[in-house]
C-alpha cells in the first residue's frame, strides 16, 4: 500500500509504520499519543508530511554539497513554530539544503534602516550600532520565509497524498482538530 507519491517515488505504508515504530520505541515514545486516537492518526499523517518533504529535498539535493555550508542556527522553538514543524525538521536534518536554497537571499540597507526606525523601542542605540543585529535578524527571517516558500511550492507540485494520509490540518479528513 502507498501512503504518498513524491513524483514517481512511493512512500509506502510499511515505511511509515517502520518510522512510527521507531518513534514509539524511542525515548519520547511514552509521550506520543496512542495510535488508535485521533491525535495518533494525525501524528501518522504529520509523519507522512515529513517523509514526503524529505523525499522532495532528497530528489533535489541528491548528494551533500562539496563545499561545507555556512553554519545555520538550529531552529529554537519560537523559530520552529514560525517555520512550521515540517520545514523546521527539514532545516534541522539538512542545514546544507537550507544554506543552498537561501544563499542568494539579501536584505536591502533601506529595509534595515526602516525596521530600525519603526522599532526604536527594541533598538534604542544609534543606527550604526544597531545595524548589524537588525540586519542579521531581518536576513534570518527573509531566509526562513524564502526556504518555507520554496519547500511548500516543491511539495505542492510533487507530493500526492493517498486517502487516509491527508495533511493533519485538512478539514476534509475525519480527525481534523485544528480550529481557531
Q: Which three cell numbers stand for residue 174?
A: 475525519
8-58, pLDDT tens digit by residue?
Answer: 999 999 999 999 999 999 998 899 999 999 889 889 999 999 999 999 999
25: three-class secondary structure by DSSP: helix
> Average pLDDT in the 169-178 region?
74
In this structure, is residue 177 part of a structural domain? no
Dihedral of the CA atoms 130, 131, 134, 139 (nearest 10)? -160
Contact 99, 69 (CB under 8 A): yes
In this structure, is residue 155 part of a structural domain? yes
In this structure, is residue 171 part of a structural domain? no
Could you give the CA distance from residue 36 to residue 86 in angstroms, rounded to a whole number?
23
- pLDDT value at residue 92: 82
When divided into structural domains, the chain yields a total of 1
Could you give the CA distance from residue 94 to residue 64 in angstroms, rounded to a whole number?
9
In this structure, is residue 176 part of a structural domain? no
Residue 94 confidence class, pLDDT cut points 50, 70, 90:
confident
| pTM as predicted | 0.83
In this structure, is residue 168 part of a structural domain? no
In this structure, is residue 116 part of a structural domain? yes
In this structure, is residue 32 part of a structural domain? yes
CA distances for 162 relative to 13, 25, 126, 156, angstroms: 10, 26, 55, 14
- pLDDT value at residue 91: 86
Dump strand ranges (E) for 28-172. 159-161
Its domain, for residue 148, covers 2-161
Strands ordered across the beta sheet of 2-6: 9-12, 2-6, 159-161
- pLDDT value at residue 51: 95
118-173, pLDDT tens digit by residue?
Answer: 999 999 999 999 999 999 999 999 999 999 999 999 999 999 999 988 887 777 77
> Average pLDDT in the 98-123 region?
94
Contact 50, 41 (CB under 8 A): no
In this structure, is residue 117 part of a structural domain? yes
Residue 66 is part of a domain; what is its CATH number? 1.10.4030
Sign of the C-alpha dihedral, residues 13, 18, 19, 25?
A: positive
Residue 108 confidence class, pLDDT cut points 50, 70, 90:
very high
66 pLDDT more than 60: no
Amino acid at each position: 500500500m502507498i501512503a504518498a507519491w513524491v513524483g514517481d517515488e512511493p512512500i509506502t505504508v510499511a515505511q511509515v509504520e517502520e518510522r512510527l515504530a521507531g518513534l514509539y520505541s524511542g525515548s519520547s515514545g511514552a509521550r506520543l499519543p496512542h495510535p488508535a486516537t485521533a491525535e495518533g492518526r494525525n501524528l501518522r499523517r504529520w509523519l507522512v508530511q515529513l517523509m514526503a518533504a524529505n523525499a522532495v529535498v532528497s530528489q533535489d539535493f541528491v548528494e551533500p554539497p562539496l563545499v561545507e555550508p555556512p553554519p545555520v542556527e538550529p531552529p529554537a522553538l519560537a523559530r520552529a513554530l514560525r517555520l512550521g514543524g515540517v520545514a523546521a525538521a527539514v532545516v534541522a536534518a539538512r542545514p546544507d539544503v537550507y544554506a543552498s536554497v537561501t544563499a542568494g537571499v539579501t536584505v536591502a540597507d533601506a529595509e534595515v534602516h526602516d525596521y530600525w526606525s519603526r522599532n526604536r523601542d527594541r533598538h534604542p542605540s544609534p543606527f550604526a550600532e544597531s545595524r548589524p543585529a537588525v540586519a542579521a535578524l531581518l536576513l534570518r527571517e527573509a531566509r526562513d520565509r524564502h526556504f518555507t516558500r520554496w519547500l511548500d511550492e516543491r511539495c505542492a507540485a510533487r507530493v500526492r497524498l493517498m486517502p487516509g494520509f491527508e495533511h493533519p490540518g485538512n478539514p476534509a479528513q475525519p480527525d481534523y482538530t485544528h480550529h481557531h
